[in-house]
Structure 1
Amino acid sequence: MTCFITSATLADAALRISIEAFYCSGHPTIVNKYYDLATSFYEYGWGESFHFAPRWKEESLGESIKRHEHFLALQLGLKKGHKVLDVGCGIGGPLREIARFSGAFVTGLNNNEYQISRGEELNRIRGINNSCTYVKADFMRMPFSDNTFDAIYAIAATCHAPNVLDCYKEIYRVLKPGQCFAAYEWCITDSFDPMNQEHQRIKGEIELGNGLPDIRSMGQCLEALKLAGFEVICENDLAVDSPLPWYLPMDKNHLSLSNLRATAIGRFITRNMVKVLECLGLAPEGSQRVQHFLETAADALTEGGRKGIFTPVYFFLARKPIA
């Protein structure tokens, strides 16, 4: 196992992140610090695609993730020759899978230098440099001309936008008329009670552990799409009808041989591996504290899913009208 984080100085900074600091310190700075720190942890525990997916019985986590990436490609009608934008592409797991599945040319937009360099390395390893590329930029201010892309998608990315309406407007601007934008959004559900202190605690810990601003409701996202100018074709919380809970891979009380790292036993092993590596100087100082920090975030996501107050798979498909 390689070094967990890229800079030891980021460990303490990440642990001090608060919801207020997200706004006071500036959106790009906080999110970049968070992802510099957490990317290697994510890849170690989750693979190349940093997102959840509803899951069929007898289906592995990896299979469910690929199926939902293919679902996006099919909903958007992607095919060879299309120019597609992946907004907030991470290290490019979905980008590579969708490019291979559809034959489209996919551009990944990301404002984090470490994730882009890792994504480019994985593109070379997979031999798909000719069908994918990366652009380093803030998705609130994209360096693209109006009406550039044949399709746009975002997977668990635009939840980081400080203003979702402005984000959707920017996506609308660079999308060609008559074409579609699809996304999986992180949202609170209608079951969330803002007066319930337990609900507020869970929501706050999800935000804190994932570098998020105030998590929006599904209704707020839907309204923002319409105000941005989109025609909403369909929308649905895919978690509702999932045969297996989306949060199952993170449930430390669920025994899973296919995802042992997320179980209580797996976490114990990883925690001690990190301790040994940090003591030997192979992992930067503060790695143990970061491991604890991310475990707390995983527990909050599991609680939110179990109580039905949070979903990471609110799906929508929206079209930019032809003027």
Structure 2
Amino acid sequence: MPDPSPSPEFAPLARLREQVSRVLLGKPEPIRLALVALLGGGHILIEDAPGVGKTSLAKAIAKSLDGTFTRLQFTPDMLPSDILGASLFKPDMGEFEFRRGPIFTNVLLADEINRTTPRTQSALLEAMSEGQVSVEGATLPLEPPFFVIATQNPLESEGTYPLPDNQLDRFMVCTGIGYPDREHERRALIDHAGRDPLDDVAPVISRQELKALRTRVGAVRVDDSLRDYLLDIVEATRSHADLVQGASTRGALTFDTAARAAAVLDGRDYVTPDDVKGLAVPVLAHRLGVRGTMREGRREKAGAVVRQILAEVPVPG
């Protein structure tokens, strides 16, 4: 649980979390996971049906951050240049000028990312892992923070291109949002009637404050017993009978970073066992290969395996 009296340096996070919660009602866990990814310098993949708040979550985070936001609707005819940009010839100057694409932003909503071809999907790989874009022989840095919120509908397969494993591995966390409970849906009907709650969202955290908080993530203390606990969970995925592919070393490093980010989000400078347990499924499940399972049900089956592993691996005292 968050510290009831966080120190002043954590106050921007409390404001950010509270403001986004006013837009996406009754969904504290997806909000927490999105902010863990943002703090940890990672990205988030949201798998869910249309209309449950994926776009609202992305816009609320973007408007709460003193930065830029771009939404890209992915389609089968989209080209890499539609994301990265391209050089256009200027007859009046007799030369080419590079026009930057929509990837040059702080928060990128990649809507229905699995509706575009693998070639176009791969245009995001370098940007997501290295914060830069290589195009037409030049390497261009992306202004931090660069945060991707990608969405896909796991129940729809016609006209889609499943994300390859190396693309999935670039997402720090993968989660769903789900339908709200009746109380929060009733409140949404009342509060959102005739108005958009995003209209009330204003910047509550600057890019400089976010940069400082990201620096704190690297300084969070992880006890040796907790580090071994995290590694025990990762190693168990590599030998589980129901899995054909366990978590990679990148997955283990991401797991560690996410746990540190969760600690900072809750106003702490140390990781707890609950940080590790609470992030195991959203950080690891989408990276695992489940034996005899179609890709559509992969995350759910892998999540069940991870929960089984959590039940079996001893928690440090």
TM-score for the superposition, normalised by structure 1? 0.30
Indicate the structure (1 or 2) with the bigger Cα radius of gyration.
2
